Amino acid sequence: MRPCPLCGQRDDLPSAAAGRARGGGGGDAPWVACRGCGLLLRDAPPGPFVDHCGEEYFAPTSAELLAHLRRRAAGRLQKVSRYRRGGRLLEVGCGAGEFLEACAAQGGWEVQGIEPSPAGAAPARARGLDVTCAPLEDVALPSAAFDVVVAWHVLEHLWDPLAALQQLGATLRADGMLFLEVPNASCLGARLFRQQWISMASPGHTVLFTARTLGALLARAGFRVFAWPDPTGADLVDARYTIAVSLRARVQATFPGLLGHGAGRPAGAIVPGPSLGRPWSAPLRLARRLAFRSATGMVFRAERSLGPRPVLCVTAARATARDAA
């Protein structure tokens, strides 16, 4: 058993909330909960991130999706701008560079990115951005060099998130700030869909956090958390999509064939409906689509009103001797 990246223990138990992430593309790797601290983790490395994401992940062509990515980047920049209006900024897991491009367009920022996937780094570089294509652990970052470090939905992919946070802390200046986003393992969607929850089914995820375990990890890495911002509008669009994909996977696992012939497909895969040649297929598809959208909306509204929030957004700074006292 791998040692827990938060508390170091090797004692764990199968997670009642997670089980095995069947059909998630990551084999039959179980999720377990550390007995010492409650952190959810997988015992087998997922392989390089580049194995799970190809060009289609980083090069969307839909105008609607491109507009959403720009809105999401603007929302994230707004979070950062509450505390910093310029300086030297590093984005870990920058993808195709939408956020870095938004920073550059605002002005006042000197931006740099790290992206492990060549399929992501290539379009980012095509935008004229300074991007290193390598896993974070292979990058020699300069000490005390950045005013801001951001990592949007990166930490859950890392085998040793504690070492990663310590590395990022070392590259921050004394008054530097860290901004993170990760899926919330205690959200309503996680509890409802369990192993079909998209963040558990994802083959690239090795660890999942609650507010308690993420706060503890940051403290151990030498950070102090001083804000848990609410998700932005674009974050909530992502959350609704997560619910839709997870709900589809849960229904498909519980009632095979109800949504179409999708046996053996990854969790969340969109499966074909009945044959178009059948006269009743069109009304059936319409009824199924309306019911699915209604159910998705109900879960989404419940998650927003009841909580906890679907995404953990964290603003942190390097801890000082005064904080320790």
DSSP string, 257-317: TTTSS-TTPPTT-----S-TTSTTHHHHHHHHHHHHHHHHHHHHHHHHHH---SEEEEEEE
Cβ(120)–Cβ(103) below 8 Å: no
- Total residues found in the chain within this entry: 325
Cβ(206)–Cβ(45) below 8 Å: yes
| The pair of three-digit structure tokens given for residue 71, joined into one six-digit string | 């809105």
309: closest CA among 187, 143, 218, 226? 187
CB neighbours of 15 closer than 8 A, spacing ≥ 6? 30, 31, 32, 33, 40
Average of pLDDT values for 33-54?
74
pLDDT band at 269 (very low <50, low <70, confident <90, very high): very low
Residue 63 has pLDDT above 70, yes or no: yes
Three-point CA angle 235, 236, 241, nearest 5°: 100
pLDDT band at 155 (very low <50, low <70, confident <90, very high): very high
Residue 253 has pLDDT above 80, yes or no: no
Residue 233 has pLDDT above 50, yes or no: yes
User: What residue type is assigned to position 13 of the chain?
Assistant: L
Output the pLDDT for position 100. Answer: 98
Residue 272 has pLDDT above 50, yes or no: no
Output the pLDDT for position 264. Answer: 41
pLDDT greater at residue 71 or residue 175: 175
**Rg from Cα positions in the chain:** 20
Measured in degrees and rounded to the nearest 5, phi and psi for residue 180 equal -130, 155
Output the pLDDT for position 230. Answer: 79
Residue 61 has pLDDT above 80, yes or no: no
User: What residue type is assigned to position 325 of the chain?
Assistant: A
What distance lies between CA 168 and its chain's CA centroid?
18
Q: Which domains does the chain have, with CATH numbers?
A: 31-237+310-324 (3.40.50.150), 244-304 (no CATH)
pLDDT greater at residue 289 or residue 29: 29
pLDDT band at 247 (very low <50, low <70, confident <90, very high): confident
In the Cβ-directed half-sphere of 28, how many Cα atoms lie within 13 Å?
A: 1
> What is this structure's pTM?
0.81
Average of pLDDT values for 148-167?
96
Residue whose structure tokens are 């689509």: 289
234: closest CA among 67, 66, 72, 62? 72
